[in-house]
């Protein structure tokens, strides 16, 4: 094949340069149309990306369904309501309650009245409250439920309170906070320190500066005494160990948990930061006809 003749023949079929007249208006219109399509596609991608980002953010910040701090990192749901195995007493439907059979004799872990106890020694009902100073749900319980429990039941002689330390392993400052509260108890200022630790939980929980949080309610002299007890008094750690032993006996695995001891000595476990109305209804059932 003669390539040159073939090319020349086909070039001759094309319009001459003089006859070709470019359509500028049409070309500009096509360019604008392409630009509009490109902008529409880009705008759709931007919106899709924004929606996906917002959805991810919502999933990250969505609060947990759990209302308490579990002993293990996995979420531990509160036990479902179960009837108390005592004919005279039935728990309110909203409470997460698990009953433990009554002991044949007094729990050896419970000692004589000490700084962790409040209320009348002859109270019909005892509430043993297992808590962790770094547990957010415990702070909610002591802020919203405990004041009414104290004013309506403890100060009226119906209920005696026993605070129990149950520091969870995932909270790095929970044990030091419990030690400070016990040393404060040995120094005669347990209540003030106990309340202050929960009120300032967000502060010392972030940096571990427990003494800084206590300074407004404890004098420098008392802080020095507390510091000395932390360094030398074995009773500080023994108190925590006794509470942990009681937690094992009660099968506690989350905080806060209230163990209500009725007039018959039977122990009823109520897990989670229950509202006052739930806890009071349960206590009223135990106090009925007593």
Close Cβ partners of 156 (under 8 Å, ≥ 6 residues apart) = none
Tokens of 186: 């040995």
**What number does CATH give the domain 69-287?**
3.40.30.10
Query: Looking at residue 250, what is its pLDDT?
Result: 95
User: Which of 130, 77, 129, 128 shows the shortest CA–CA distance to 103?
Assistant: 128
Q: Which residues contact 120 (CB under 8 A, 6 or more apart)?
A: 157, 160
Domain spans in the chain, listed from the N-terminal domain onward: 3-61, 69-287
Question: Looking at residue 67, what is its pLDDT?
Answer: 46
Residue 284 tokens read as 């009223």
| Tens digits of pLDDT across the chain (290 residues) | 577 777 777 777 765 555 555 666 776 667 677 667 767 666 665 655 554 554 444 343 333 333 467 765 443 444 433 333 433 444 444 444 445 444 433 333 333 358 999 999 999 999 999 999 999 999 999 999 999 999 999 999 999 999 999 999 999 999 999 999 999 999 999 999 999 999 999 999 999 999 999 999 999 999 999 999 999 999 999 999 999 999 999 999 999 999 999 998 999 999 999 999 999 999 999 998 66
Buried-state track 139-169, b at ≥16 Cβ within 10 A, e below 16? bbbbeebbeebbeebbeeebbbbbbbbbbbe
Instruction: Supply the pLDDT for residue 46.
Output: 64
E strands in 4-154: 69-70, 97-100, 117-118, 125-131
| Helix, coil or strand: residue 57 | helix
Q: What is the pTM of this model?
A: 0.66
- Which has the closest alpha carbon to 71: 247, 261, 254? 254
| Virtual torsion, Cα 183, 269, 76, 280, nearest 10 deg | -90
Phi then psi dihedrals of residue 18, to 5 deg: -70, -30
Cβ atoms of residues 260 and 127 within 8 Å: yes
| Angle (deg, nearest 10), helices 174-186 and 235-250 | 120
Phi then psi dihedrals of residue 264, to 5 deg: -85, 0
Q: How many CB atoms lie within 10 A of CB 38?
A: 10
With a CB cutoff of 8 Å and minimum separation 6, the contacts of 52 are: none
Cα–Cα dist 223/24, whole Å: 88
């Amino acid at each position: 094949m003669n390539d040159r003749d073939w090319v020349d023949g086909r070039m001759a079929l094309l319009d001459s340069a003089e006859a070709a007249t470019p359509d500028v208006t049409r070309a500009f219109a096509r360019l604008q149309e392409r630009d509009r399509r490109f902008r529409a596609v880009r705008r759709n991608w931007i919106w899709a990306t924004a929606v996906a980002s917002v959805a991810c953010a919502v999933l990250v910040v969505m609060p947990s369904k759990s209302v308490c701090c579990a002993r293990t990192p996995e979420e531990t749901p509160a036990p479902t309501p179960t009837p108390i195995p005592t004919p005279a007493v039935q728990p309110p439907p909203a409470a997460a309650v698990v009953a433990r059979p009554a002991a044949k004799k007094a729990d050896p872990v419970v000692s004589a009245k000490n700084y962790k106890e409040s209320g009348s020694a002859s109270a019909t009902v005892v509430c043993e409250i297992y808590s962790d100073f770094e547990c957010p749900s415990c702070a909610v319980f002591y802020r919203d439920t405990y004041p009414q429990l104290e004013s309506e039941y403890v100060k009226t002689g119906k209920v005696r309170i026993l605070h129990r330390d149950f520091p969870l392993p995932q909270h790095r400052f929970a044990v030091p906070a419990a030690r400070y509260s016990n040393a404060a108890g040995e120094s005669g200022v347990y209540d003030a320190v106990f309340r202050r630790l929960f009120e300032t939980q967000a502060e010392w929980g972030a940096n571990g500066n427990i003494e800084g949080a206590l300074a407004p309610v404890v004098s420098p002299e008392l802080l020095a005494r507390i510091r000395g007890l932390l360094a030398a008094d074995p009773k500080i750690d023994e108190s925590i160990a006794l509470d942990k032993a009681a937690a094992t006996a009660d099968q506690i695995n989350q905080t806060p948990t209230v163990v209500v001891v009725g007039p018959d000595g039977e122990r009823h476990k109520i897990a989670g930061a229950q509202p006052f109305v739930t806890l009071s209804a349960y206590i009223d059932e135990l106090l009925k006809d007593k």
